[in-house]
């Protein structure tokens, strides 16, 4: 068995859960956003083209070894579910990255996600060379995606992005976070709303699929309205393929936590964030993006769909939650965070509802700080 560990970055979008992870850079070149803790204390560096090519070669070796081991395990060379589960459940017996390659093969080896936080900081030529080498090594690949900063993308030409698309880059994930300039400055995002618009427009013009991320609650109680309306205004000008929602959760390892401690930033409640989301969706006009709520931090997972046709349904679902009695809201919030519920409809399941009610009773008796403390701790565990 090869003893070469694959370099694995810390994060990837939920939509890339079964993708092959290939690290192109290490950490984030900006690394100053006050709502993020992912790369704090870590230095940014570029991997060389030769390093990445060697890793692609190592992945190819792992693929061969997985198939050979499958024969020995009695699976006839197939990357079968029991074999993949065994690898994932016993990571200590395999080099780092072995499990992710197995999972990738199990899902037909079609998708690749390039790590880390801003791979388009590479010059276009070297990145094209990597993409070409990767696709030649694995002809089964159909989609290659990456994170990138809007500031970085805004400095690329449409022609450069088209060159990347021809080499195989299928989708770019950009953290818009907010379209309100004072808030962008406050959280030290290092980009302006206009630069985000320019970046998004270039990606769209190049033919590469675009995902833009928005952080609900990022404006706190002081800037929530401007955050919602300003972000919708920017997205209306970009018209990304996907708008992906995340909900703010501040841990004590994030710089924003210090502003909360000083009373400069006041967090919003779940209900206030839901109202902010409603205002945000109301102001999305003239676009045909797909609105996606694909993270457990989001309270209302069901608020997603194609714009504009499903906009009314999404707002109606928000209104349905807001109309719940207070005791039903607290039950749903705990049930959602604890994994009992996925949608408001689950409140109609008497078994699940009774289990959550019993948990609420125990929390009120046994936990200092009560249910709000438990919900906060649960959401913190999802980051």
| pLDDT tens for the chain, residues 1 to 383 | 555 678 888 888 888 988 999 999 999 999 999 999 888 888 999 999 999 999 999 999 989 888 888 788 787 878 888 888 888 888 888 887 788 899 999 988 999 999 999 999 999 999 999 999 999 999 999 999 999 999 999 999 999 999 999 999 999 999 999 999 999 999 999 999 999 999 999 999 999 999 999 999 999 999 999 999 999 999 999 999 999 999 999 999 999 999 999 999 999 999 999 999 999 999 999 999 999 998 889 999 999 999 999 999 999 999 999 999 999 999 999 999 999 999 999 999 999 999 999 999 898 888 877 888 888 888 888 87
CA distance 214 to 232: 10
Threshold 0.85, pTM exceeds = yes
Instruction: Name 267's Cβ contacts closer than 8 Å, sequence gap at least 6.
Output: 217, 220, 221, 248, 250, 260
| Angle made by CA atoms 136, 138, 142, in degrees to the nearest 5 | 100
| pLDDT score for 71 | 84
In terms of Cβ atoms closer than 10 Å to its own Cβ (0-12, 13-18, 19+), residue 282 is: middle
CB 37 within 8 A of CB 117: no
Nearest to 203 by CA among 255, 246, 242: 242
* Residue 314: alpha-carbon gap to chain centroid: 21
DSSP state of 95: -
Rounded to whole angstroms, the Cα distance separating 208 from 202 reads 9
Rounded CA separation 170/232 (Å): 25
pLDDT of residue 8: 85
Residue 377, pLDDT score: 86
What distance lies between CA 25 and its chain's CA centroid? Answer: 18
Report the distance separating Cα 125 and Cα 47, nearest Å: 14
Across 329-362, b (16+ Cβ under 10 Å) vs e yields: bbbbbbbbbeebbeebeebeeeeebeebeebbee
Q: Please spell the DSSP secondary structure of 239-294, one letter per residue.
A: --SEEEEEE----TTSTHHHHHHTTSS-PPPHHHHHHHHHHHHHT--S--PEEE--
């Amino acid at each position: 068995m090869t003893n070469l560990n694959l370099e694995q970055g810390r994060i990837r979008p939920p939509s890339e859960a079964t993708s092959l992870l290939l690290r192109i850079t290490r950490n984030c070149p900006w690394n100053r956003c006050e709502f993020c803790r992912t790369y704090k204390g870590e230095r940014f560096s570029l991997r060389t083209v030769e390093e990445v090519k060697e890793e692609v070669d190592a992945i190819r070796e792992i693929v061969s070894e997985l198939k050979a081991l499958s024969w020995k395990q009695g699976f006839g060379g197939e990357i079968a579910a029991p074999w993949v589960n065994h690898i994932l459940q016993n990571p200590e017996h395999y080099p780092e990255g072995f499990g992710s390659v197995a999972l990738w093969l199990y899902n037909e080896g079609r998708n690749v996600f390039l790590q880390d936080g801003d791979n388009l900081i590479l010059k276009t030529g070297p990145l094209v060379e990597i993409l070409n080498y990767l696709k030649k090594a694995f002809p089964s690949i159909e989609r290659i995606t990456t994170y990138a900063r809007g500031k970085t993308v805004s400095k690329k030409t449409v022609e450069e992005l088209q060159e990347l698309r021809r080499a195989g880059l299928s989708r770019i994930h950009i953290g818009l976070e907010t379209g309100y300039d004072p808030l962008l400055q406050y959280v030290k995002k290092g980009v302006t709303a206009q630069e985000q618009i320019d970046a998004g427009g270039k990606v769209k013009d190049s033919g590469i699929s675009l995902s833009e991320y928005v952080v609900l609650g990022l404006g706190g109680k002081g800037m929530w309205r401007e955050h919602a309306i300003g972000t919708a205004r920017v997205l209306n000008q970009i018209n990304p393929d996907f708008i992906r929602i995340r909900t703010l959760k501040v841990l004590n390892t994030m710089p924003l936590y210090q502003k909360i401690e000083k009373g400069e930033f006041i967090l919003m409640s779940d209900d206030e964030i839901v109202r902010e989301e409603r205002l945000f969706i109301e102001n999305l006009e003239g676009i045909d993006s797909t609105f996606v709520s694909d993270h457990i931090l989001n309270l209302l997972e069901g608020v997603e769909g194609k714009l504009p046709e499903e906009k009314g349904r999404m707002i109606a679902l928000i209104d349905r939650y807001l109309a719940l009695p207070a005791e039903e809201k607290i039950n749903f919030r705990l049930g959602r965070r604890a994994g009992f519920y996925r949608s408001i409809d689950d409140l109609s399941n008497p078994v699940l509802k009774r289990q959550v009610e019993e948990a609420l009773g125990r929390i009120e008796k046994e936990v200092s700080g009560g249910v709000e403390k438990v919900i906060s701790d649960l959401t913190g565990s999802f980051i």
